[in-house]
Amino acid sequence: MKEMSANTMLDSQRQQKHYGITSPISLACPKEIDHIYTQKLIDAMKPFGVFEDEEELNHRLVVLGKLNNLVKEWISDISESKNLPPSVVATVGGKIFTFGSYRLGVHTKGADIDALCVAPRHVERSDFFQSFFEKLKHQDGIRNLRAVEDAFVPVIKFEFDGIEIDLVFARLAIQTISDNLDLRDDSRLRSLDIRCIRSLNGCRVTDEILHLVPNKETFRLTLRAVKLWAKRRGIYSNMLGFLGGVSWAMLVARTCQLYPNAAASTLVHKFFLVFSKWEWPNPVLLKQPEESNLNLPVWDPRVNPSDRYHLMPIITPAYPQQNSTYNVSTSTRTVMVEEFKQGLAVTDEILQGKSDWSKLLEPPNFFQKYRHYIVLTASASTEENHLEWVGLVESKIRVLVGNLERNEFITLAHVNPQSFPGNKEHHKANNYVSMWFLGIIFRRVENAESVNIDLTYDIQSFTDTETGAAVWKKEKNNEIISKRLSLPQSLSDVSRSSGGLQSKRSSLDSSCLDSSRDTDSGTPFHSPVSTNKSSNPDSPAGEVERNSTEPATVVVEKLPRVPPAQGLSIPVIGAEVDPTAKAASSPPVCTIPTVVGRNVIPRVTTPHNPVQGQPHLNGLSNISKNVTPKRSHSPPTDGTSKRLKDIEKFIRLESAFKDSRAAEDRKRKPMRLPSKELPDSSSPVPASNIRVIKNSIRLTLNR
């Protein structure tokens, strides 16, 4: 009998509940040393404010309770105003659900709460944005109340007793909303409009993730560590093409499924092990997609051709299943995989006792990682306009990244999610300035001493996108707002040394799905420091590009401006500026100076040649014949002229340097500041006397 009992216990252990679409990799239980490493991990995270104390947690519960009561009162009042019977009004109900980081239990100090207001079928969305909005307006403790009704997921944002809340709305096709309502039931989606389905999706996905992990507490601690690591390493932003909070949660949940009994310290290491070796674009699934007769669109590459082009699919577990990473591009995936590998190497050292957890949370050296940068600046005259303008520009940065990736001479375009305050001296009419930095790696071309790279189409396309978005927003809001986009219309001629590299895979356009904004305040970053690094001829092209021996060049203090009537021009980064030189008038197309890398090559575009059918490549007749031709979709000169006229009222060209350079000036070496004038690692980025770091291109968008 004892033997049978022992065998039964052994069988029950073997028949442990199965999580995920595959069997676990290991069922090993944690050892004493694993618990020690887990405690050290917790201690390393505490200084970053990732844990709330009991008082703060209780305050959130009190605020949510007040909000839930407000919702029930409002629904009851609406029901009476619509002449429902008193018996129905007494039981109509209404409820607040939470989702996102708060629902997962991984929110940080001061984080907002994502909440969902669920109402019965007789309450309209218009009621939510009118009568409930008015009710909130007269409620004590409510501040910064604003409605974003035209968003992909319409939302009311406000502060309630010091807690920021994003409240979305959904009405179900039922007469009453009970307190024990379960939103995981797919039948709740029946007969709902798409906005309600989107609003419900956040709660349904969050609840499903928690349902699919073997140990919720271990999952939460591991997710806190991974999210903090991602924010510190600059790869936490769904909007900019990295991963958002839900995507990181699903990756951690999949790791927990593969190692269901492991401690948090082990799971962090296994997280990096699994996803540094993951064969993308194979999708990450927490469970097998379920069929439904609701006929809602779901992620399925067998049916939807566009789904086959997603580069890093992570599929939400709740119906309708969607890819949460449709914004990921070739560059952002490359950066994240590199970070996974770096994280694996660091955690290997930690678990071997050679290092500690603080090393994993060190910020990257973004401003020493690349040789060339693009600096994108957005400015506005008032704080309110600046917040709106920055949000619009930031939401389109991934368009610029995609344009750059499709350029055959660019292998990587890495945007830093952290924005920085800009220098107001260059924007005297606008007191509010923000900057983003994009690190660029150029492809090295075989058998060519130098090559001119034309970024005209890439920048023009981004300008048109921003202009179109600004005009659309202006018309939609019926506001008379003067928007000015200051961008170089032609950014070209990045002179590069020769070298071999195969053509890269072009990135694919992101889908039309919306991207949620993920923000993180309080993540420190260090300033750029000029360093000389030796290049290894046997290293990959990307490493050769990053470790070039060319020292950093810095833009001079004053930026002269060229009126639009004088033609198109771009900054000449790294060359001396002659203050006595006068801006030369442009030829019929444009005169485009060079952004120097090592050698400076003058370039003047030529008018369209009807005999040849197209102008010379990059406007140069003596370019090496071994250089790959430019892509055929570069805009013709007459088309560019027409487009400039169409958006003349919105676009003003701004040039950082004069484009009339004497031949002897072009031969000079780039002017560099002494190393003592460059910012040190502890100063803010960028320092006040540094305009653009290294070989950089400045793009300015003003409102």
State the catalytic residues: 101, 112, 114, 166, 227, 236
Q: Which amino acid is at 305?
A: P
The CA dihedral of 75, 77, 80, 81, to the nearest 10 degrees, is -110
Mention every residue, 6+ apart, whose C-beta is less than 8 A from residue 29. 261
Residue 636: φ, ψ to 5°:
-70, 160
The CA dihedral of 239, 458, 691, 647, to the nearest 10 degrees, is -90
Structure tokens at 45: 């995270």
d(CA 233, CA 236): 8
Whose CA is closest to 45, among 109, 133, 119? 109
Q: What is 576-609 written as a DSSP string?
A: ---TTPPPPPP-SS-B---B-SSS----B-----
Whose CA is closest to 358, among 48, 679, 35? 48
Pairing assessment for the beta strands 695-702 and 372-380 based on DSSP bridges: parallel
Structure tokens at 146: 């604003």
Whose CA is closest to 287, among 184, 197, 377? 184
Only one residue has tokens 């008032």, namely: 382
Residue 485: φ, ψ to 5°:
-105, 115
Q: Which amino acid is at 15?
A: Q
Q: How many CB atoms lie within 10 A of CB 381?
A: 16
CB distance 438 to 414 below 8 Å: yes
Q: If phi over 0 gives left and psi between -120 and 50 gives alpha, with beta otherwise, what is residue 613?
A: left
Structure tokens at 2: 């004892």
Mention every residue, 6+ apart, whose C-beta is less than 8 A from residue 387. none
Q: Using CB atoms within 10 A of its CB, is residue 523 exposed (0-12), middle (13-18) or buried (19+)?
A: middle
Residue 165: φ, ψ to 5°:
-130, 135
Residues, the chain, total? 703
Beta strands in 11-105 (DSSP E): 95-99
d(CA 663, CA 143): 61
Q: Which amino acid is at 204?
A: R
d(CA 486, CA 435): 14
End-to-end CA, the chain: 82
Distances 71 to 65, 76, 90, 142, 184 between C-alpha atoms, Å: 10, 9, 14, 14, 21
Whose CA is closest to 364, among 233, 520, 243? 233
Structure tokens at 30: 């944690």
Q: What angle do CA 517, 297, 165 make, to 5 degrees?
A: 30
Bridge partners of residue 165, in order along the sequence: 113, 158
Mention every residue, 6+ apart, whose C-beta is less than 8 A from residue 598. 450, 495, 496, 497, 550
Bridge partners of residue 142, in order along the sequence: 160
